[in-house]
Structures are given as structure tokens and as C-alpha cells.
Amino acid sequence: MLQIFLSQGTIGLVDQALIWVFRWMVTLIFSISLCHYFGWIERWIWWKLEDEASKVLNRAKVTVGSFRLNFDEILQGKLTIFVSNVIIHTPHREEWGWESPLVARIGNAKVECNAPITIFHLVFFKQQLPIELYTVILADVQVFVERYESVFNVYLMDPCCILPPAPFEHGREATKPDSPRVDDMSVSEHLPTPSFASDRGDDRHHEEAQKLVDEMLESVETLGRAARQGTFSQTVRQQGLELADRIREGLGKESRSNAETKQQLADGVSVLRTAGKVAVNCLQSAPQLIVPERLASASKPPPLCRVGRIVLKDIRLFTRNNWIQLQDEDTATGGTPSNSNNKVGWNKPIFIENMIVRASEMCPPMSRKDKDELPAVYQTIDKVIEIVWRRLLTEIAKSNTGKLFSTALFEVLDLMKTSAIGNSAPTSTSTDATPKAG
């Protein structure tokens, strides 16, 4: 009797447990179905996606216009995500005085990934599986790049980048710190510091050299503008003749019959010698770019991933015509510097119609091994982004050679002219070196 009673009691407990599990599963399935019917699951994923993207971009605001999930292949562990009108807002816009309210906009995006399998292992097994991105398609992309002194607006989205204080904190312009030098970024290579001990003694030579450098910069700037406007050949002839006449004047070859030709020639050589040092000094004292650096000790290693293909369509990169705030003629006379960033517009976009990055290009190198000392299959997301970025630069250089050359040329000229104005202010009030928006 006791055995029968115990067996009946055990069966009763098992029945109760099964009934409880059945009720719990029915309730869970009903709740999930109800949430899916009203769109609450997609809204939660939508909010979570914006929040995680904001964390990755150093708390820059990210908004998604529309979001949709395709669960047709979820039983195969595959999920397709469709998003549109993704906007990355410009961080700290008022503090830095950025003109563009956004850094980038993605019109349409499609991502096929193994999110269900990854989330399942992460939640139930506490195991981080590599991310499988089968297809990534981005279309109708616009990127807006601005610069304030040595800081680009995209640097503010990198949590590992150490930046100087914002120039317009608390509604008023703060004291601008010295531009970060290369030695602050732990770089061992430096430009040689020019010595002006012997040439500074002759103010006339230095003044002539400064004028010569300014005119050379103006000539090269005109050539860059002509290359962008399609009048390069005519401008080359005109600027070449003007520059040749200026050099002849500096060398003192106006009159071959003049008895003082040798003295003028010596003066011209001194001017050219000083001009070279003035040009080097312009580059040496120009504000140098801040290079973002990764932290040596990360809290956890970045997740591994494997990407099948990345397709980029209709990409436009907009840059400012003049990326640096320059001083005008009032600064040389003790006035207040003007903000030329507010006076210039944007360049024509650098356009990429179509770019495809295949899986073979994003594979890890043969020398990389995994934990089993076998050729690696996955690599970090940072490496994948670096590969895509290099390929993007290559496509820009191939399809936009003239615009890319013009942009880089204006960048170098702005750096040199900013320094040239500062160096020549105490000795000369000439404003010929003030750069013009091309």
C-alpha cells in the first residue's frame, strides 16, 4: 500500500509540474505573439539599436527613421533587418561651432545576419559567438566632414581620442590651447627645426622671402582652383609667366648690363635660401592633426565577425571649402580675428556610384592563427572597418582624382598660410597671403 501511495504521489507531482510548464509556455507564447502583433518587439529592438549605436559612437545621437524585421528565415538562424533614414547627429555642435547639424545620413540599409543564434547563446549560455554578417547593403549615403583647427567633427565620435577643450564652452569662446604637437601623440618623427640665426639679421631678405613664399602659395592655390574648374592649361601658362618674372626680380636679373648684377644675384640667392626656411617654418609651426589612438588596455576584446559582402551605393562625401579658421588683416594690426568658416561654403561632393567589398578582401591574413593554431577564420570588427575604409579611399582616388587633389592641396595651403600670416604679422602688414575660398 505504501508503494502504491508513493507512486501515485510521484505521478501527481509530475503531472502538476508538466501542467505548470505547459501553462508557462502557453502564457509566454501568447505574450510574445501579442507583443509581436502590436509591434512592441520591433519597437524595443528599434530603441535598443539606437542606444547601442549611440554608445559605440561616443554618445553621439543616432536616430532611425524606419525599422523592419524579416522573420521568414528565423528557423535557419538568419534574420534580415531593413532600416532607412539613419541619421548620426553632430555631437557637441554648439561647443565646437560646427555648421552641419549631422555627420552622416544613410538613406537605406539592409543587413542579413545570424542575430538569433548569437542572442540565444549570449542569453542562455553566456557565450559570445562570432557575428556572421552575410550581406550588408548601404545606399544613398551622405557624409559631412568639418574641421576646427586640428580637430575633425568625426573625432568626437571616437571615445579613444583625446581632444583639447571645446572653444565655445558655456556659450562663450574659451581660451584656445596650443595646438597638439606630434610629440604629444607619441610619434618619434619630427621635422627639422630651421635655424634663422644667420638670416634673421637681414630683415629685408626675410621680408622678400616671405613675399616670395606668399606668392608661390597663391600661384599653387590658383592652379588647384583651375584644375577643379577645368581651366588648368590656360592658368598654368599665365601663372608660370608671372612666377618666372617674380623669381627673376628676386634674383636681380632685370638688367644684364647693370654693374651691380653680382650683388643683386647674391641678394637673390639669399632671398631664395631664406624662402626655403620660411616655407619649412610654415609647416613646422602649423597646427598639426590629432591622430586618434586606441587604448592599450581594453576592458574586453572586440567581438569577432565574418562578413560575406558589403555593397555601398550612391555615396557622397561633403567637405568644407576652407576647413581652418584663419585670421584676416585685422589680426595683423591688433584687431579681432574673424571666423572665416562662416563665410565659406561646401565643396562639390566626392561621389562614389558603386563599391563592392567581397569576402576574399575581408579575410584575415594567412599568418594569423586562432586558439588552435589553425588559420584564422574570423577577425575583429575594427579590422573589417579598416579594410572597408582603405577600399573606400582607393575608390575615391580612382573616381575623384581632381577633387581629391584639390581638397588635399587646399588643406596644405591653409596650414602653411595660417602659419605664414602669424609669422609675418610683426614685420609686415601685407595681406597678400590671406587665403581665398576657392
Tens of pLDDT, residue by residue over 186-223, are: 333 443 444 444 444 466 666 766 666 666 666 666 65
Whether residue 311 sits in one domain with residue 255: no
Verify that 55 and 136 share a domain, yes or no.
Answer: yes
Beta partners for residue 152, in sequence order: 147
Same domain, 304 and 172: yes
**Residue 260 amino acid letter:** E
Same domain flag for 430 and 378: no
Q: Does residue 184 form part of some domain?
A: no
Q: Are residues 155 and 97 in the same domain?
A: yes
User: In which band, very low, low, confident or very high, does the pLDDT at 401 lie, cut at 50, 70 and 90?
Assistant: low
Residue 55 maps to a domain: yes
Both 373 and 306 in one domain: the answer is: yes
Q: Do 166 and 48 fall within a single domain?
A: yes
Using one digit for the tens of pLDDT, what is the confidence trace for 70-84? Answer: 888 888 888 899 999
CA distance 418 to 438: 16
Q: What is the pLDDT of residues 321-373, one digit of tens each?
A: 544 444 343 444 444 444 433 445 787 888 888 999 999 999 998 888 888 88
- pTM (predicted TM-score): 0.60
Same domain, 65 and 169: yes
Confirm whether 404 is domain-assigned.
no
- Would 291 be classed as within a structural domain? no
For residue 72, give the nearest of 83, 86, 82 by alpha carbon: 82
Domain count, the chain: 3
Q: Coil, helix or strand for 305?
A: strand
Residue 292 lies in a domain: no
261 lies in which domain range? Answer: 192-286+412-438
Both 239 and 280 in a single domain?
Answer: yes
Beta strands per DSSP E along 91-246: 102-113, 131-145, 147-148, 151-152
172 shares a domain with 122: yes
Residue 237 and residue 370 share a domain: no
- Please tell me whether residues 167 and 270 are part of one structural domain: no
